[in-house]
Structure 1
Amino acid sequence: MPIIELTTYIKSERKIVFDLARSIDLHKISTEHTKEEAIAGKTKGLINLNEWVTWKAKHFGITQKLTSKITEFSSPHYFTDEMVEGAFKSFKHQHIFENKEDGVLMIDKFEFQAPMGFLGQLANSLFLKTYMKNLLEKRNKIIKEFAETEKWKSVLK
């Protein structure tokens, strides 16, 4: 099972970074290039424990739907979302937030399994893991940009 681990240092308060990471509205902003939209479940605001969201987006030229649910939650320390239904065989995304001297270390641990057995493993090695890492890095860049400026106030009303 491929695992992507990212660490992003953000000069902001942990609660702000935590809330931006679970914001449906900020997620939409960070995925504009895929035309991602929340179409069912929690479709705006901050997602919480046991809540779910269904996303519709275009990846690899194909419109796809994916439903994920928050399965673990301790504000402002960590939360986990897991796929309930979608294109992957499975995924689990842990979001961890550690206080540092002048900010927060945001840690992502994203584990996933592609469908289709051997073909899925081949897709992982050829492009899927890199594609997913790039999506997460873009998302983290947006979280950092909003958290380190006054932009966070436009999302966390």
Structure 2
Amino acid sequence: MPTRFEVVTLVHAPPGLVFDTSLSVEAHTESMAGARERAVAGVTTGRLGPGDRVTWRARHFGLPWRLTSVISGYERPAYFMDEQVAGPFRRWRHAHHFVLAPDGRGTVMRDVVEFAAPAGPLGTLAEALVLRRYMTRLILRRNAHLKRVTEAAAR
């Protein structure tokens, strides 16, 4: 069974802007600069859209990683899904939800991530001991960057 976690972030910017920024290749690479993540194939600049594929190269745990994902769901400005089609995970699905904040002055961004490591029981153990916490921190870091960028653009 895949590991699942959610991250909720309040962004003081309109949903359309937060949605569009979340699909920006440049915003993603800026948010993942610590892992030296960059787009190396598929859509490598600009904004991703329905059906687009991108291959990311990064360093995690001191090792090089490649992951190719596709935008498999897309309902602007409320939702999109990216899924791994090639890469290190047995499964990777990241649903991005955007709703107007209850006070009407921002966006509640909710990330729902499901992933499964390879290597059977050893991978399951790695998920529980290391990967869940590590992946949650990556999403928190990404969202903090998106929050800064979109709030600055909304001013």
TM-score, length-normalised on structure 1?
A: 0.94
1-side partners of 2:60 and 2:11: how far apart?
28
2-side partners of 1:4 and 1:27: how far apart?
20
Q: Which position in structure 1 is the counterpart of 2:4?
A: 3
* Letter of the structure 2 residue corresponding to residue 140 of structure 1: N
Q: Which position in structure 1 is the counterpart of 2:113?
A: 110
2-side partners of 1:3 and 1:34: how far apart?
22
* Letter of the structure 1 residue corresponding to residue 60 of structure 2: H
**Segments ≥4 residues shifted beyond 3 Å:** none
1-side partners of 2:5 and 2:68: how far apart?
20
Q: Which position in structure 2 is the counterpart of 1:140?
A: 143
Q: Which position in structure 2 is the counterpart of 1:50?
A: 51
Report the secondary structure of 2:152's partner residue: coil
Q: Which position in structure 1 is the counterpart of 2:15?
A: 14
Report the secondary structure of 2:49's partner residue: coil
2-side partners of 1:51 and 1:113: how far apart?
23
Q: How far off is 1:88 after superposition?
A: 0.5
Percent identity reads 38
- Please list, as runs of the form range in 1=range in 2, the aligned pairs for 1:93-132 lying within 5 A after superposition: 93-100=94-101, 101-132=104-135
* Letter of the structure 2 residue corresponding to residue 40 of structure 1: A
Residue 92 of structure 2 corresponds to residue 91 of structure 1: yes
2-side partners of 1:146 and 1:37: how far apart?
18
Q: Which runs of 5+ in 2 are unaligned?
A: none
Taking only aligned residues, the RMSD between alpha carbons, in angstroms, comes to: 1.2
